[in-house]
Amino acid sequence: MGEASATAEVFRRVVVEPAYKAVSAQIERAIVDGALPLGAALPTEQQLSERFGVHRSTVREAIRQVEQEGLLQRREGRRLFVCLPGVHDLAPRATRLLLLQQTTFQELWELAMSLEPLAARLAAQRAEALDLQQLQQHLLASDPGQDHDDAALVRLDVEFHALVGRASHNRALMLAREPVGLLYNPTLQQVFAHLPQARARNQTAHQHVVEALLRRDADAAAEWTARHMVDFQRGFAMAGLDMAAPIVMPN
């Protein structure tokens, strides 16, 4: 191989991305950088088409991409405004990635053992009156004596841990734990199906966590949450479920 050929090997074929992706990337960058602040109206398709020098169909597809990311919201007819994506907008996408990676229960449990006690600890320190009121109301609503079916109890469990996470007032933590919760908690329905006593144990753990939060006892809140996570793992094993198997969302 000659010297010129060897030198040419350092270069790779240029991959040109579609125009709509380039446009959507610029719009997203303007939002993230603050050039388009929260609540600002997005320029019209015609204005963007002229500014970017592309067809309106290209702009329309780019806007659709940004809208799907939760950064734009339609109001006042067809006008689009910059908005802040919520936890529930982002979590399903992260959940899909975890499923595609064939994440196991063991992996989720290891992460939950760090995130959930931390959320409880911070909630004990930072929860506001409304946070505590919502948690107390949730305990009453999830009382096993109300004859909830397993699907309802799973939904209530998801809501409980989300409320504790919200009471931490740590947005990074809320974003980190939400997709884990969406995958982790449906496995509880399998535990309930095999171990009916798990329903009462679940409620008791929630009760102790809330009592610790009301006392502003961060150590107790974190400890009871960690015990709750360990109990969940034990129930999973007692139900004969494989912790090394990939998590599968129920139909």
pLDDT, position 99: 66
Domain segments of the chain as ranges: 19-82, 88-238
pLDDT, position 141: 87
Which class does domain 19-82 fall in? mainly alpha
Say which amino acid occupies 142: S
Residue 140: Cβ-neighbour burial (10 angstroms; 0-12, 13-18, 19+): exposed
- Please choose, from the candidates 14, 109, 98, 27, the residue with its C-alpha nearest in 3D space to the C-alpha of residue 62: 27
pLDDT, position 89: 57
Tell me, which fold does domain 88-238 have in CATH?
Four Helix Bundle (Hemerythrin (Met), subunit A) (1.20.120)
pLDDT, position 185: 66
Say which residues have a Cβ less than 8 Å from residue 8's Cβ, sequence separation at least 6.
Answer: none
CA dist 125 and 224 (Å) reads 15
Task: Name residues of the chain where pLDDT drops below 50.
Answer: none
